Structure 1
Amino acid sequence: MDVKGHHQSLHDQLVAARQERSWQTSPAAVVAPASDHRADLRQVPTTSGQHLAAHAHAHGGVVAQSLVIRNLSFHVPRPQPKSLIPAFLKPKKASTADTSAATNEPSQGSSDQQRLLEAPTARPADEITILNDISLTVKAGQVLAILGSSGSGKTSLLDVLACRSPKDGRIEGQVLLNDRPMTAAAMRDVAGYVVQDDRLLPNLTVHETLMYVALLRLPPSMSHEQRMARVTSVIAELGLRSVSNTRIGGGHIRGVSGGERRRVSIAVQLLTDPYLLILDEPTTGLDSFSAANIVSVLSQLAAANRTVLFTIHQPRSDVFDLFDRILLLSKGRTMYCGPSKHMVSWFKAQGHECPKFSNPCDFSLDLATVDYRTHDAEKESMQRVLSLSKAFEERSRDFFAAVDPNELENWKHGARAGQSGELNSVMAINDGPVLAVSKPRQRISRARQMYILYLRASRNILQGTGQLAGELVSTLFMAFLLGCIFYKLGDDQISVRDRFGLFYIACSLFPFMVILDTIAKFDSERASFYNERQDGMYDLLPYYLAKVLAELPFNVFFSVVYLIPIYFMANLKSDAASFFIFGSVLFLVVYCSRSLAMVMAAAFPVFQAACFAANLVFTLFILSSGFLINLDTIWAGVSWFAHVSYIRLGFEALSITEFSGMNFTCANVSTSVVDPVFLSSEVNLGQNGSASCPIPNGKAALESFALTDATFAQSVYALVILVVGFRTLAYGFLRFVHQKPRDK
């Protein structure tokens, strides 16, 4: 089959499916694209009656009828330039109401139409309006495509609907499902939100990804067999059977294709069988064929009595035929909202006729885009946007009454029923009376969450063979490098300084490497963690404990790999007790570094900032380790770093472990070879500057650094306290610091 014929076949099937699609019909074929252009399309038959019954049962016996948005506006605080003047010294500003009264300008209670077209003084001067008086109705079984140029407010609208808008924003209007105001908790129960970028763990397979989501999100009343059956059903529904055992991949990890990865993201939300499916740019980054396939899948999902809303950039003309309704936005204003089949006619009635053989979406986007290339072009295009927005506000009802009388039902149902102001109240998403549209979703216990998350994290680490191999090679390289440099240390006077140097480097080299590695790993998981937390998939504490426990065996393993070559090549103490103590102390030092890195990764969601902060703190710990400078002579302003420096604590504990009970051979040693710091004041130097026995035993070596056997226990206890403190601090930052899904 040639590619052109295949595209035409796909188009014919999609149009036929759209014409047949209705939530009242019986069978619906789900068109699921294959992984390449040459593969045949799969059709997975489903029974609408059975699906609707299961759908209603899962949501408390309620079947969704319509989503209504009334006079929705969204405002955010205007960014304020930073000032060097303290806030308490600045003069107080008059309130908005006082200012309005003094200047005879409209107050905050002005009508929505006035706020749309009047000067910016009609709204509070310290706010920016992102969405301005958006109203629409979408019925179950319909697909709503939200179009608009960059910055038009498409993603902001979806964030408001999904209760993910910034907390400092102010929302006005109402969102109703089945004529009942939605709350944030209810929205999480009945809606699935697919974000623009795929936030999935790269080392898990498609089946494993969906399996763990099913274990976490589906009600505890469902048996394991029912959960797995649901996973199998969703995989088939989205045409992912052929890649179910393929890794997700991403970045430098090979896995499924971009279109398949996007379908996995949709499948994650589809597992809970939501009424409402919201998608932000589901076709971004895909070729035109894959994008058309994604839209066709969404169109077929709507056939199962779901309401599907998504934003999209420049869809193909045949994809345009799959849209039931279109919302066209520009600068947060409504340019058109209604059936897709009437959009071209509407703009023609306003004096903007779509050229023949042109893509209606491209034509409408051109009308709704402000041209900033020149001042004149900006002024002209902005005037066009305001004119078309005002025209839709004033004349769209008469237009739809003439071309589609059925569309008037949407008006009566509430699409723009609140223009008089009686419905312009604070949106029920934020607060107000809770009118649940379904039974609250049951959640599994925290202990069960931790167990499932532990299994998932362990599998994700184990299946990252490339990452494990890279870390193993780098660890072995550093260990053998140190082993070669400090190969077979003796028991003479010269080896004393060499041993101190080995312990200092051992506590500095590998711990520094794991800092960057730990930050990079968590940063790669941050987007998935952020998205799953917003979905309410699990609580923070089970996730954090599961992550720590899953990583612990691998942390121990790499510490042992680092220890063995160094210990035996350097010819350190040969008894088992000394080896175990030395290895335990070294592990605590390395684990302190990993814990510090986790603190920085949680406190600074931007990767570069986290690395910089971690390197800065680690450098201070190195400088205050007591090896490079005597701590008694260090400046008091930074001496406190020595008390929390795990490099110093590890260096002291390793030195005490190795030097305790050791004796060194004594021969004539020149002070030019042995540093005078190691010479006891009781040793008499000869005329030629030599000493017969500067350091006879390990005790003398330790005394040169003011170390005693009692210091060992203090150092080990301090290392344990630092580990617990760092881990607790990291948990606190994860809970209270906004974890950005990606750098912006």
Structure 2
Amino acid sequence: MDKNQMPEDFESAESLRGSASGSYEIMPMSKKNGVLVSLSWEEIRYTAKCQDGVLEILKGVSGFANPGQLLAIMGSSGSGKTTLLSILSNQIIPNRDIEISGTVKVNGEDIKNYDYPSIARYVMQQDILQATMTPREAFRFAALLKVGSDKNLIKTRVDKMIHDLKLVKVADSLIGNEVIKGLSGGEKKRVNIGLELISEPSILILDEPTSGLDCFTAEVVIKLLKKQAKKGKTIISTIHQPSRSIFDMFDRLILMVNGSFVYQGAANKSRQHFDNIGYLCDEYTNPPDHFLRILNINNRHNMTNEEKTKMDNFLIAYKIKESNILDEAITEDLTVLNKSMRHYTPGLLIELRALLWRSYINSLRNPLLFFVKLAQAITMGFIVDILFRDLGYGMVQVENRKGVLFFTTIQFIMLGSNSNSMTFPIERPLFLKDYKEGLYGTTAFVLSKFLAELPTQIFFTFIYVVIQYFALDLNRETAKQFFVFLGLAILSHWTGCGYGNLAGVISPNVVASTVIGPAISAPLMMFGGFFSKSGSLSSSFYWIKYISSYTYTFEGFCLNEFRDLPIDNGLTPLKDLGYSGEVWERAMCLLLVQLGLFLLVGFFLKIFAERHKSN
């Protein structure tokens, strides 16, 4: 690497100087840019058990990444580059089917001696973002959980990130998705990177940051990373097939084939390396295209003789120079890291505050879900009014009142269940990403989801109840009956959302949740008390009524409706149904059902989150 390749932000005239042998003499580097951290790894091996036996994915690779430099890792599919990146970012948790050996070091010491998240952050390939938030809000949310609760510090970090990532013009625009019009792919990628940069890590590790972007947008993203490297950060990124202009921005390059390194060094010397061993690249060919072509192995488990010979040539040529290459790592003038340093970990209340804020924003700005629920509440309310208007007090009318009350019970519970069972699988990827990063736990997430939905649930329930209650002439002996009815309706709607959350969390996708949701609701509805008297249920399945919010809602509605109602003499609807006791007892049972659903959702979500974290 020659002198003019060093970051312009470093004051040293020569931090690296090329020698005749092709190695580099390490020169003093200025500490102008604050924390300078190098990352190195020694003899990293990764083996995994599979049906065909043990698969060796990484075969004892060693390397380094210097501060102030952009390191690109390239290789064909299956070469092991993403696995290496996951190990360097400490994203893989070994288990009985996975064996990892070797050491990853920061400034020459094992990362196990440090709180690694306070030093390094990882940017996933997929841009998993909250579509209904703006970049400014997304950065603020990340800052609350990664930086602290100091408002001035958060504002400073957020404003700086918006400026550094050139997102000023879209800072207050919705991020968007397939339904909500929002940012472009490149802008979303920059937001995704900014969510990790907000904590100001010394090392930034990225998996395919240009994936799915056009050439121009990809170049903008790499320029951003190059700028971060010039500030003294250590940047490591896998990349698939960069353009020539992007390739020219790389400081260092690692090329991988079948779990091994075949080149490591200055990116601008890589072409010469392969030319020297007989794999010439003409001046009109983009070097990355040439590398991927000559490094391609059709079947790494059954290589042809030609491929084996080619691989041997690559490995021999690399091994001859490996010791000199590893000597190029910067080891002097690095920042002395404090081993007691810890990344910011928010408490439950701060997690809950941030998640409630995000959930509240999502509820307000999700137009499809909001208007579907509103239309459903208004439409069903008017349909019930038309069918059962002006209920009387005779025997037929009493039976009609029972039917209305049970239909209303179904309406409130299913309204919440159907919507949440379909939305929860959509929200799962964002939760799993945040959980893997350690931003918050399952308790805060589930609790925030249950609480954040209450305002909209109360709103839709109130609309439905107002439309229906007075038009049907339900019990209006005192104002108490109306407010008790409204309270029970809100609780039943809330438990319905709980059933939907449970169906959503155990469903792998939206399609599965549309099947699992009704499968959960059907038996609960059958034992709700309308289709058969409470005392006539089969003893084998009698327990189902105790976990059914249909039961407690319908019983509560009936107790509230038929007590003090001036029905015809001789009619005893509560006795016929077998109901006694107080309404508040049913309300408490609904709260207990909701608590049970909360615990079940949290339990299953924890299992799936830990399983995802280990992958």
Q: Same fold (TM over 0.5)?
A: yes
- CA pair 383-660 structure 1, distance change in 2 beyond 3 A: farther
- CA pair 605-469 structure 1, distance change in 2 beyond 3 A: same
- In structure 2, what is the Cα distance between the partners aligned to 1:499 and 1:601? 33
1:22–1:141 CA contact under 8 A, matched in 2: no
**2:129 aligned partner:** 200
**1:209 aligned partner:** 138
- In structure 1, what is the Cα distance between the partners aligned to 2:515 and 2:114? 38
Deviations 1:323-365 (A, max 9, x none): 1222222332323322222322333333322244122112211
Segments of 4+ moved more than 6 angstroms: 48-51, 739-742
- In structure 2, what is the Cα distance between the partners aligned to 1:350 and 1:283? 30
**1:52 aligned partner:** 33
Q: Which amino acid aligns with 2:328?
A: N
Deviations 1:716-736 (A, max 9, x none): 332221111111222222333
**How many residue pairs are counted as aligned between the two chains?**
590
Q: Does 1:473 align with 2:375?
A: yes
Q: Which amino acid aligns with 1:571?
A: D
- Residue 345 of structure 2: SS of its match in structure 1? coil
How far is the alpha carbon of 1:408 from its aligned partner?
Answer: 5.7
Q: Does 1:137 align with 2:64?
A: yes
How far is the alpha carbon of 1:308 from its aligned partner?
Answer: 0.9
**2:22 aligned partner:** none
- In structure 2, what is the Cα distance between the partners aligned to 1:174 and 1:20? 28
- In structure 2, what is the Cα distance between the partners aligned to 1:636 and 1:385? 70
Aligned counterparts, 1:251-266, within 5 A: 251-266=178-193
Aligned residue among 408, 418, 426 for 1:516:
418
Specify every segment of 5 or more residues in structure 1 that has no aligned partner in the other structure, as ranges: 1-15, 28-47, 57-62, 80-119, 414-434, 666-694
2:41–2:63 CA contact under 8 A, matched in 1: yes
Aligned residue among 76, 90, 108 for 1:179:
108
1:70–1:173 CA contact under 8 A, matched in 2: yes
Q: Which amino acid aligns with 2:375?
A: V
**1:621 aligned partner:** 524
Q: Which amino acid aligns with 2:82?
A: T
| RMSD (Å), alpha carbons | 3.1
Q: Which amino acid aligns with 2:280?
A: E
Aligned residue among 397, 406, 425 for 1:495:
397
- CA pair 337-384 structure 1, distance change in 2 beyond 3 A: farther
**1:146 aligned partner:** 73
1:275–1:307 CA contact under 8 A, matched in 2: yes
How far is the alpha carbon of 1:191 from its aligned partner?
Answer: 0.9
How far is the alpha carbon of 1:458 from its aligned partner?
Answer: 2.0
- CA pair 386-140 structure 1, distance change in 2 beyond 3 A: farther
Q: Does 1:288 align with 2:224?
A: no
- Residue 738 of structure 1: SS of its match in structure 2? helix
2:132–2:176 CA contact under 8 A, matched in 1: yes
Deviations 1:24-63 (A, max 9, x none): 2499xxxxxxxxxxxxxxxxxxxx989723xx3xxxxxx3
**2:317 aligned partner:** 395
**2:609 aligned partner:** 738
Aligned residue among 202, 205, 219 for 1:278:
205
How far is the alpha carbon of 1:412 from its aligned partner?
Answer: 11
Q: Which amino acid aligns with 2:316?
A: E
How far is the alpha carbon of 1:18 from its aligned partner?
Answer: 8.2
Deviations 1:443-472 (A, max 9, x none): 344323322332333233223345323322
Deviations 1:359-386 (A, max 9, x none): 21122112233326xxxx9855x55554
1:73–1:131 CA contact under 8 A, matched in 2: yes
Q: Which amino acid aligns with 1:362?
A: D
- Residue 24 of structure 1: SS of its match in structure 2? coil
Q: Does 1:649 align with 2:552?
A: yes
- Which segment drifts farther, 569-578 or 255-264? 569-578
Aligned residue among 567, 574, 577 for 1:664:
567
- In structure 1, what is the Cα distance between the partners aligned to 2:342 and 2:436? 16
Aligned residue among 454, 457, 463 for 2:356:
454
- CA pair 176-589 structure 1, distance change in 2 beyond 3 A: same
**1:228 aligned partner:** 155
- In structure 1, what is the Cα distance between the partners aligned to 2:262 and 2:256? 6
2:114–2:341 CA contact under 8 A, matched in 1: no
Q: Which amino acid aligns with 2:45?
A: S
- In structure 2, what is the Cα distance between the partners aligned to 1:568 and 1:213? 47
Deviations 1:124-155 (A, max 9, x none): x4x33222222111111111112122332222
Aligned residue among 579, 583, 607 for 2:482:
579
**1:669 aligned partner:** none
Deviations 1:376-412 (A, max 9, x none): x9855x55554444444433254579xxx7x462389
Q: Which amino acid aligns with 1:586?
A: A
2:41–2:62 CA contact under 8 A, matched in 1: yes
Q: Which amino acid aligns with 1:396?
A: Y
- In structure 2, what is the Cα distance between the partners aligned to 1:482 and 1:201? 37
Q: Does 1:68 align with 2:40?
A: yes
- In structure 2, what is the Cα distance between the partners aligned to 1:466 and 1:238? 31
**1:361 aligned partner:** 288
Aligned residue among 577, 586, 594 for 2:497:
594
**1:555 aligned partner:** 457
Aligned residue among 7, 21, 37 for 2:7:
21
How far is the alpha carbon of 1:303 from its aligned partner?
Answer: 0.9
- In structure 1, what is the Cα distance between the partners aligned to 2:328 and 2:307? 24
**1:351 aligned partner:** 278
Aligned counterparts, 1:91-130, within 5 A: 125=53, 127-130=54-57
- In structure 2, what is the Cα distance between the partners aligned to 1:472 and 1:740? 37
Deviations 1:284-319 (A, max 9, x none): 121111111111111111111111111112111111
Deviations 1:419-448 (A, max 9, x none): xxxxxxxxxxxxxxxx96572224344323
**1:84 aligned partner:** none
- CA pair 208-277 structure 1, distance change in 2 beyond 3 A: same
- In structure 2, what is the Cα distance between the partners aligned to 1:230 and 1:26? 28
- In structure 2, what is the Cα distance between the partners aligned to 1:251 and 1:591? 28
- Which segment drifts farther, 258-267 or 211-220? 211-220
- CA pair 579-546 structure 1, distance change in 2 beyond 3 A: same
Q: Which amino acid aligns with 1:78?
A: C
- Residue 186 of structure 2: SS of its match in structure 1? helix
2:426–2:510 CA contact under 8 A, matched in 1: no
- CA pair 561-290 structure 1, distance change in 2 beyond 3 A: same
**1:155 aligned partner:** 82
Q: Which amino acid aligns with 1:566?
A: Q
- CA pair 170-378 structure 1, distance change in 2 beyond 3 A: closer
- Residue 172 of structure 2: SS of its match in structure 1? coil
Q: Which amino acid aligns with 2:50?
A: R
Q: Which amino acid aligns with 1:323?
A: F
Aligned residue among 431, 437, 440 for 1:538:
440
- CA pair 466-634 structure 1, distance change in 2 beyond 3 A: closer
- CA pair 26-660 structure 1, distance change in 2 beyond 3 A: farther
Q: Which of structures 1 and 2 has the bigger CA Rg?
A: 1
- Residue 76 of structure 2: SS of its match in structure 1? coil
**1:482 aligned partner:** 384
- CA pair 249-496 structure 1, distance change in 2 beyond 3 A: same
How far is the alpha carbon of 1:270 from its aligned partner?
Answer: 0.8
- Residue 41 of structure 2: SS of its match in structure 1? strand
- CA pair 250-285 structure 1, distance change in 2 beyond 3 A: same
Q: Does 1:715 align with 2:586?
A: yes
How far is the alpha carbon of 1:712 from its aligned partner?
Answer: 4.2
* TM-score normalized by the length of structure 2: 0.88
* TM-score normalized by the length of structure 1: 0.73
- In structure 2, what is the Cα distance between the partners aligned to 1:232 and 1:170? 43
How far is the alpha carbon of 1:277 from its aligned partner?
Answer: 0.6
- Residue 190 of structure 2: SS of its match in structure 1? helix
- In structure 2, what is the Cα distance between the partners aligned to 1:738 and 1:611? 22
2:94–2:100 CA contact under 8 A, matched in 1: no
Aligned residue among 299, 317, 341 for 2:268:
341
- In structure 1, what is the Cα distance between the partners aligned to 2:512 and 2:285? 48
Specify every segment of 5 or more residues in structure 2 that has no aligned partner in the other structure, as ranges: 14-28, 332-336
- In structure 2, what is the Cα distance between the partners aligned to 1:408 and 1:647? 68
1:531–1:741 CA contact under 8 A, matched in 2: no
- In structure 2, what is the Cα distance between the partners aligned to 1:576 and 1:18? 82
**2:577 aligned partner:** 705
Deviations 1:671-724 (A, max 9, x none): xxxxxxxxxxxxxxxxxxxxxxxx733xx122222223x264543332221111
- CA pair 387-137 structure 1, distance change in 2 beyond 3 A: farther
- Residue 470 of structure 2: SS of its match in structure 1? helix
